[in-house]
Structure 1
Amino acid sequence: MKTDEKVELTCGMYLKKVREQKGITLDKASQDSRIIKRLIQAIENDDYNSLPPPVYLKGLIKKYAHYLHLDEEEILKFYQKSNGRKLTPGDKDLLPQNRFAYKQHPLLKIFSQIFGQIIRYSLLLIILFYLVFEIMQLVLPAQIIIFYPPRDLMTTLPEITISGQVIRTKTLYFQGQETSFDNKGFFKEQMTLNPGSNILEFEAINALGKKTILEQKVILSSL
C-alpha cells in the first residue's frame, strides 16, 4: 500500500481497489470471508450509516483486511484517519437489536411465572414430605410381620420354615440370635420344634434403639 494512495483514497475506496485488482467479486468476497455482502459494500463505499457500531466495526474491518492479505492494524489506522470515525465504543453506541429474537406475550410471561411458582412449591412439598417420612422412620417403633407360621399353629412336622418381614428395623433377633434380612425387610429362618408347645420370640430394634417384641406359639403334635 503506497503512501500517496492513502492520502488520495479513503479506506473504503482503497479496499475496493485491492479487491478488484485481485479479481475478486463482491459475492466471492462475501462467501470466502463470511462477511455479509451489504456490509462489504458499506465499508468500500464509506457508507457509515449502514455500518454497525464501533464495537463490531473494528473486528469487521480487521477481518476484511485479513481476507485481502493486508496489514490489519495499518488498515484500522487508515480507516480512522480517512474518515475520522473512532473505532472505540461511545456512550451512544448501542448493540443492534435482534429482529429474530422471540418476544414473549405478557400473558404467557404471567403464566410462566405462575408455573414457576407452582414448581417451586411442589418441590418444597416433596422435600417436606420426605423429611417427615424420614423422621417417622426414626420415631415410630419397629414392626414385625410373620407370614408363616400362623398363630397357634398345630403341626406334625418336626421342622418348619419361618418367614416374615420387618419395617423400620435396624437389628432383628430370633430366639436370642441376630437374624439377617434383605433391603426390603424380608427374612427366613429354619426351626426344629420340640414336642408340645414351642414359643417363637422375635425382637426388632429401630434406629433409635426402641425394641419391639413379638411372641408366637407353635404346637408340635405327635398325632
Structure 2
Amino acid sequence: MMKNFMPPKHSKDQETLGERLRKRREALGFTLKDVADEIQTAQKHVTALEEDSYDVFPAKVYALGFFKKILNLFGTENKEDWIKEFNTEWEIRMFRKDKTIAPLPENRGDGPYLTPARFGLLIGGMGLLIFLLFLVSQLQNFVGIPKLKVEEPGNQALLEVPMVRVRGSTEKEGRLTVNGRELRVDERGNFDETLELAAGLNALEFQTENRFGKVQKEVRYVIVK
C-alpha cells in the first residue's frame, strides 16, 4: 500500500501546493507525460498545477477536476485536505490577479476644482437644461391658449368721433385680427393701431391664433355718437 501523503504543516519556509504535488509525482516515478496521458489532458495542465500557475485554466472547475484526477492517480488517501488547500490557494491567487489598485487623485487642496472632464459635464448639463426648458415652453404653447390683452378701447367706450385706438399685447409669433382685419404685431408682441368705425354700436372682436392653431378671443363694444 502506498504511504499516505499528508500536506505539511504551515511554516515560514513551507512548500507550495504545486511543489509538493511535483515531489509526489517524482517519488512515484511518473513523468509529466505519464500523468497527462493517465488523466487525459494536455501536459501543460499538469505543469501549471505543479507551478501553481492557474492562468491556463478557463475556470476553476477545470483545474480542480484535473487536480482530483491526479490525487486519485497518486493514491492519495486524505484527498479532502488537499482539495481544501487547493480551493484556498486558488482564491488567494485569483484575488491577487484581479485586484487592481487605483491611483490616488492629485491633491489639489480642500476646495473644489474644475477638471476638463468636469467642465465638459457642466457644459453638457447646461445644454441639456436649456433644451428641456425649450421643450417645456413649446409644450405650453401647444397645449395652452395664446395670451391676448386688450388695453384700449375699454368695453362700452363712448366716442365722439368714428375713430378708435386699439392697443394691447399678444404672442409675437401669432396672427392677430379685429373683425377679420389683420393687425401688425411688433417683435415684443405689442400692437397699436387706429381703426375707423361706423356710427352707433360697434362690436370689435379681437382674435389671436398661434402657430399650433390655438385661438383666444376678446370682444370690446364701442359706441360712436
- TM-score w.r.t. length of structure 1: 0.45
- TM-score w.r.t. length of structure 2: 0.45
Larger Rg: 2
